[in-house]
């Protein structure tokens, strides 16, 4: 086993670890935004390490270039999709806030304080 194989094995193991960490973050974190953060960051790093692992094993330069371009495409696509999901989640939160009734609480004779009524209260 030479140095290329050891570095490749280390990068492959680290990439698998980051994929696993992203999956655990997706399953365990409480809301959409933290799940997106964990998943996109960990998966992009994990894929980058796995591509780096493959680069140490492949000898042809055109194939190496294809792998790097695929990784760049995945980086761009995952950032775009995460942005779209986050935007939709924000829109959904705004729609839910508009549908909850607003209750006025009188603080004094001329002052009205508005707050959102919580459905659980």
CB-CB contact of 107 with 113 (8 Å): yes
Digitized pLDDT (tens) for each residue of the chain, 121 residues in all: 899 899 999 999 999 999 999 999 999 998 999 999 988 999 999 999 999 999 999 999 999 999 999 999 999 999 999 999 999 999 998 888 877 665 555 555 555 555 555 555 4
What's the CA gap between 92 and 34, in Å, rounded?
16
Best CA proximity match to 74, nearest among 100, 101, 45 = 45
Q: Global pTM?
A: 0.74
């Amino acid at each position: 086993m030479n140095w290329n194989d050891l570095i490749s094995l280390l990068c492959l193991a680290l990439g698998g670890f980051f994929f696993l960490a992203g999956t655990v973050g997706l399953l365990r974190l409480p809301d959409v935004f933290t799940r997106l953060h964990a998943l996109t960051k960990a998966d992009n790093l994990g894929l980058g390490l796995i591509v780096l692992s493959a680069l140490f094993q492949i000898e042809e330069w055109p194939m190496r270039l294809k792998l790097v371009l695929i990784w760049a495409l995945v980086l761009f696509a995952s950032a775009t999709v995460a942005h779209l999901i986050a935007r939709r989640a924000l829109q959904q939160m705004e729609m839910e806030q508009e549908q909850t009734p607003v209750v006025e609480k009188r603080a004094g004779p001329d002052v009205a304080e508005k707050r959102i009524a919580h459905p659980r209260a």
